[in-house]
Amino acid sequence: MCLGIFLTLKIFNIPDITTDGSFTLGGAVTAVMLINNYNPLITLLVVLLAGAFAGIITGIVHAKLKVNALLAGILTMTALYSVNLMIMGRSNIPLVDAQNIFSFFSADSNSQTEGMVLMFFVLFLLLLMGWLLHTDFGIAMRTTGNNEMMARAVGINTSAMKVYGLALANALTALSGYMMVQYQGFVDINMGIGIVISGLGSVMIGEALLKILRKDNLWLQIIFVVIGAIAFRLVLAYALSWTQP
């Protein structure tokens, strides 16, 4: 999710509020498919497509209909609440005895197995994101975010780049919902409310930590997004500990 927010916020300068809806969308699709005995890997593919579609809607509303990016995200997020409720059929779905991505890789699903699977996904996405942003396609996206007028002047379809970027970002967010639902064992219609704040906080903390090193490297920016996410959770846990009697 933080990598998705990094893509929209730091590459395209778009504060994408669709995150709140696409996070729950990924969880809702995951829960419904798993309780109907679909393979977790097939479920993963459908979740990515669903998240990408949500991003495409936001991208079209913003880039083609010329609606403000923030408002476009809010419109899509609001619509996704009804869509998610329709997919789930109720407000909460428990994943009781349903096969998940953790049990798929190991019959003895425990915290160690979950940690290894999560670590694999994080490392894979870090490498994939870093590689993508260094390709011609990734450079075109970065150029669009840095200087849209110049990007158009050299023949880049900036509207399409924004749609692609939002689709990719929301696919990553839906993947986050996919993992979260299987980790916690249930999906709730309100699980995505305010989740964008966590993502924004993680990106900002990661950026602040990177400034201490006084380096401006794309690979380091991506890595420090993940470090920022961990730091954000540690700070949040520390703050909550002070409320304990």
Q: What is the largest CA-CA distance in the chain?
A: 61
Q: What is the pLDDT, as a whole number, of residue 233?
A: 87
Rg (CA), the chain: 18
| Residue 213: HSE in the Cβ half-sphere, 13 Å Cα cutoff | 10
Q: Tens digit of pLDDT for each residue in 125-170?
A: 999 999 999 999 999 999 998 888 888 888 899 999 999 999 999 9
User: Is 122 part of a structural domain of the chain?
Assistant: yes
Q: Give the span between the Cα atoms of 140 and 54, in whole angstroms.
A: 22
Q: What is the pLDDT, as a whole number, of residue 107?
A: 60
User: Is 52 part of a structural domain of the chain?
Assistant: yes
User: Is 196 part of a structural domain of the chain?
Assistant: no
* Domain span including residue 64: 2-191
Q: Tens digit of pLDDT for each residue in 38-96?
A: 988 999 999 999 999 999 999 999 988 888 988 999 999 999 999 999 999 888 999 88
Helices (H), strands (E): how many in the chain?
11, 2
Q: Is 107 exposed, middle or buried (0-12, 13-18, 19+ CB in 10 A)?
A: exposed
User: Is 177 part of a structural domain of the chain?
Assistant: yes
User: Is 245 part of a structural domain of the chain?
Assistant: no
User: Is 183 part of a structural domain of the chain?
Assistant: yes
Q: Tens digit of pLDDT for each residue in 160-217?
A: 999 999 999 999 999 999 999 988 889 999 898 888 888 888 888 888 888 888 777 8
User: Is 231 part of a structural domain of the chain?
Assistant: no
User: Is 79 part of a structural domain of the chain?
Assistant: yes
* Single pTM value for the model: 0.91
The number of distinct structural domains making up the chain is: 1
